[in-house]
């Protein structure tokens, strides 16, 4: 009887432990580096096809880098929107099903700049791999 109780406790403990959900797809910790000479406000980033995998970074000063935020999944391209001098700039939508490979479990930085002020367009100049995920 004691063995049955001990085995039951061990089985319960194993199944009760909450593990961080990791998969080959992610999570991915993402930060934004503003390469422009203008502050970005209300920076909104979507990194994958998951509609709930969006985060508002707030303000990123000129030539500054945000803190990391954990996304379920991320690709080398992202949909980034920011307000600059009261105008909304964006990278535009991203087709995540176009054969891009996800980044996986890592920390990355999207380096973003104003590529066309007339069309209010942002671009990602580089998506750098910073470190493996902790």
Q: What CATH code is carried by the domain that includes residue 43?
A: 2.60.40.2890
- Examine residue 101 and state whether it is found in any structural domain, yes or no: yes
As for how many domains the chain has, the answer is 1
Domain that holds residue 63: 21-132
pLDDT tens-place string over residues 76-97: 999 999 999 999 999 999 998 8
- Examine residue 10 and state whether it is found in any structural domain, yes or no: no
- Examine residue 61 and state whether it is found in any structural domain, yes or no: yes
- What are the CB-based long-range contacts (under 8 Å, 24+) for 83-90? 83/40, 83/41, 83/42, 84/36, 84/38, 84/39, 84/40, 84/41, 84/114, 84/120, 85/38, 87/120, 88/120, 89/114, 89/120, 89/121, 89/122, 90/120, 90/121, 90/122
pLDDT tens-place string over residues 19-76: 445 678 889 999 999 999 999 999 999 999 999 999 999 999 999 999 999 999 999 9
- Examine residue 16 and state whether it is found in any structural domain, yes or no: no
Please tell me the pTM assigned to this model: 0.82
Q: Is it the case that residue 104 has pLDDT exceeding 80?
A: yes
- Examine residue 59 and state whether it is found in any structural domain, yes or no: yes
C-alpha–C-alpha distance, residues 129 and 31, integer Å: 11
- Examine residue 65 and state whether it is found in any structural domain, yes or no: yes
Average pLDDT estimate for 5-13: 54
């Amino acid at each position: 009887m004691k063995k049955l109780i001990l085995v039951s406790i061990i089985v319960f403990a194993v199944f009760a432990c909450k593990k961080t959900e990791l998969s080959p797809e992610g999570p991915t910790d993402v930060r934004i580096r503003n390469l422009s000479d203008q502050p970005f406000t209300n920076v909104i980033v979507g990194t994958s096809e998951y509609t709930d995998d969006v985060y508002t970074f707030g303000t990123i000063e000129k030539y500054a880098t945000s803190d990391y935020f954990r996304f379920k999944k991320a690709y080398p391209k992202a949909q980034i929107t920011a307000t600059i001098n009261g105008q909304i700039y964006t990278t535009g939508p991203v087709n995540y099903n176009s054969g891009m490979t996800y980044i996986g479990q890592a920390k990355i930085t999207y380096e973003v700049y104003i590529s066309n002020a007339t069309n209010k367009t942002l671009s990602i100049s580089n998506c750098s791999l910073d470190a493996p995920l902790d």
